[in-house]
Amino acid sequence: MKDWLKIIPEDERKAYEKGGFMNAGVIGERTALVVVDVTYGFCGSEGATLDEAIAEFGPACGPVSWETIPRIAALIALFRELGRPVVFTRSDLGDVQFVGKATKSKRLTSVTPPRFNDFPESIAPQSGEWVLEKTKASAFFQTPLASYMVQKQIDSVVMCGVSTSGCVRASVVDSFSNGFNTFVVDDCCFDRSNFAHCANLFDMNAKYATVVSSEELSAMLLGRQMQARA
């Protein structure tokens, strides 16, 4: 059993299954990867404790960020190898008075901390890859992301990043609502709360997405590629 399922009471899991939830989707032939908000502002500096990371950047998730980043880097490398689009999102740190904030938390001051919106080197976008700046939690909210996916003829959107319970979840719901077959890579997402991480993976898997591991996704993508070549 997946770790994130273990916190869900057995009777509740069974009730969801009886209700027709928890069904797995089939990945399409034209996939795109969305890397949600994996910047220093949501990670903190490498080697910092959670308390130290939060003191540096209020939304930071600390050590779990740096445990997850190597897996995200490998996932990005796979999509690049397959020639599939990779989109990176980060906060639009423009006029907060005008656009508001992504959440109701009190965490943005008039002065943005240095490096807040910088990507760790190991997952930094390459030339030609789109860095989408967003003002709200969802990568789709009042951005051209859905139009981009349509233009690229994408049928399946793969999500990873931070936080599982926040911007990842919001983006997943909107991806599903825009008609894309949506997948979440569980070991390539992270959150400052493990409980929130697990509970939201369960809920997304039940309603809006198919939650898979990076190993499972890799097998699905490579299998699709072999089918296309046959």
Q: 2 in a domain, yes or no?
A: no
What pLDDT does 46 receive? 97
What's 156's DSSP letter?
E
CATH number, domain of 213, equals 3.40.50.850
Cα–Cα–Cα angle for 195, 41, 98, nearest 5°?
Answer: 105
Q: 46 in a domain, yes or no?
A: yes
50 lies in which domain range? 10-17+28-229
Q: In this structure, are residues 91 and 166 in contact, taking their beta carbons and an 8 Å threshold?
A: no
Q: 3 in a domain, yes or no?
A: no
CA distance between the termini of the chain: 34
As given in the structure block, the two tokens for residue 9 are: 């009471």
Domain count, the chain: 1
Rg (CA), the chain: 17
Give the whole-angstrom CA distance, residue 33 versus residue 76: 8
What pLDDT does 192 receive? 95
Q: What are the pLDDT tens digits along the chain (230 aa)?
A: 899 999 999 999 999 999 999 889 889 999 999 999 999 999 999 999 999 999 999 999 999 999 999 999 999 999 999 999 999 999 988 755 444 555 656 654 556 788 999 999 999 999 999 999 999 999 999 999 999 999 999 999 999 999 999 999 999 999 999 999 999 999 999 999 999 999 999 999 999 999 999 999 999 998 877 777 76
In 109-184, where does DSSP find H-type helix?
145-151, 169-177
> Which amino acid makes up residue 198?
C
Q: 211 in a domain, yes or no?
A: yes
Query: Helix 169-177 crosses helix 194-207 at what angle (to 10 degrees)?
Result: 10
Is 160 designated active site? no
H/E run at residue 194: helix 194-207
Q: 5 in a domain, yes or no?
A: no
Backbone angles phi, psi at 183, to 5 degrees: -125, 140
Q: 196 in a domain, yes or no?
A: yes
Give the whole-angstrom CA distance, residue 32 versus residue 83: 10
Give the whole-angstrom CA distance, residue 30 versus residue 82: 10
Q: 4 in a domain, yes or no?
A: no
pTM of the shown model: 0.91
Catalytic residue chosen out of the listed positions 160, 167, 189, 198: 167
Paired with 86 in beta bridges are 33
Paired with 32 in beta bridges are 157
Q: 195 in a domain, yes or no?
A: yes
Cα–Cα–Cα angle for 115, 118, 123, nearest 5°?
Answer: 140
Going from the C-alpha of 11 to that of each of 6, 80, 224, the distances in angstroms are 12, 41, 35
